[in-house]
Amino acid sequence: MYESAVQNLIDELGRLPGVGPKSAQRIAFHILNADSNEMTKLTDAIARVKQTVSFCQICGNVSETPTCAICRDESRDPSLLCVVEESKDVVAVERTRSFSGRYHVLGGSINPLAGVGPEQLRIRELVARLSDERITELILAMDPNLEGEATATYLSRLLVPIGIRVSRLASGLPVGGDLEYADEITLGRALEGRRVISEGNRADQLDPAQDFEQALAEEAAEKAEREAAAEPAPRARWSGSMFDEIDRDAQVAAAAFEAEEGESPEQAPAEDAREATEAGREAEAQRQEAYQERLAELKKEPLRTVAPDLPPLPGRTYVNPWE
């Protein structure tokens, strides 16, 4: 045990949140050894905060004036109210920059073990605000722990009958985390607070299996239709304007040949068919011959390119495809 003044300081420091006996001792000895001017600054800061800073008369947030800066801000949405446990939660929500409404600070959470019940919190003031102000939605932003759950449940039971829209923060999974490491309460709440991406239009379909079969049949029919459409038209013996002339010549030659033979319509059908095939064979041979001739002619000509004026690219080898 230390001298009574030192022990008194350690005891007082030990009552601060988050400060255990060892930390209290360490801080007390730091104060003892520190420059007295520095410590005066600290005591002045504590005295000033106690004299000037109080709580906003409307929302309960810390404020140096009777109403806080957020309650005085006319640009904030008066229809939205975010209910939080402590002033530090206001700072946390403000930091997200996603909320443009106003706040209500309860001053704690329901904790029967610590003797904190609804009557110790600023719930009476909250209900009074709901009847006075143009509030249409209430967001319950309690801490995600047992006390926060109890407070949110109590508030929703109390406020839902009033007819106001009440929502709760979706308890999310941490970004960058792994689903398998999430505890069951977090995962359960995240599942409960899931967001709908699409409402879907299949609710009126009674039989999913039949529905599936129908979809398959539709898909098959569509595929068949597509294939039928894609089937190529029978191609000409040879195509391309380059060969049109040759083809025409061959046809003329075949017609001339047929005329020379002196076919008559009175010929027997079998004879007629035989004549037809022979004429066809002859025409085909002539066509082949004409084609070979034209091909030989084309091979003599130099190859034409799309842009014949362009000089060949340096460093490129050009190959004659005819060889």
- Name the token pair of 79: 């229809």
Write down the least CB distance from residue 3 to Zn ion, Å: 44
Write down the least CB distance from residue 102 to Zn ion, Å: 7
How far is 254 from 283, CA to CA, in rounded Å? 5
CB of 56 or CB of 152, closer to Zn ion: 56
How far is 282 from 276, CA to CA, in rounded Å? 10
- Which span (53-61, 172-180, 239-247, 259-267) binds Zn ion, by CB under 5 A? 53-61
61 scored as a contact of Zn ion (CB under 5 A):
yes
Write down the least CB distance from residue 62 to Zn ion, Å: 9
Write down the least CB distance from residue 56 to Zn ion, Å: 3
CB of 122 or CB of 189, closer to Zn ion: 122
Residue type, 93: V
CB of 101 or CB of 250, closer to Zn ion: 101
Residues binding Zn ion: number (CB under 5 A): 6
Write down the least CB distance from residue 92 to Zn ion, Å: 16
Q: Which of 9, 13, 24, 68 binds Zn ion (CB under 5 A)?
A: 68
Write down the least CB distance from residue 71 to Zn ion, Å: 3
How far is 59 from 105, CA to CA, in rounded Å? 6
- Which span (58-66, 111-119, 242-250, 299-307) binds Zn ion, by CB under 5 A? 58-66
CB of 67 or CB of 292, closer to Zn ion: 67
Alpha-carbon separation of residue 307 from 102, 166, 252, 316, 321 (angstroms): 73, 74, 36, 16, 18
Which residues in 70-109 contact Zn ion (CB under 5 A)? 71
Q: Which of 59, 126, 139, 290 binds Zn ion (CB under 5 A)?
A: 59
How far is 191 from 170, CA to CA, in rounded Å? 9
58 scored as a contact of Zn ion (CB under 5 A):
yes
139 scored as a contact of Zn ion (CB under 5 A):
no
- Which span (66-74, 180-188, 211-219, 284-292) binds Zn ion, by CB under 5 A? 66-74
149 touches 142 (CB < 8 A) = yes
CB of 102 or CB of 287, closer to Zn ion: 102
155 scored as a contact of Zn ion (CB under 5 A):
no
Contact residues: Zn ion, CB under 5 A: 56, 58-59, 61, 68, 71
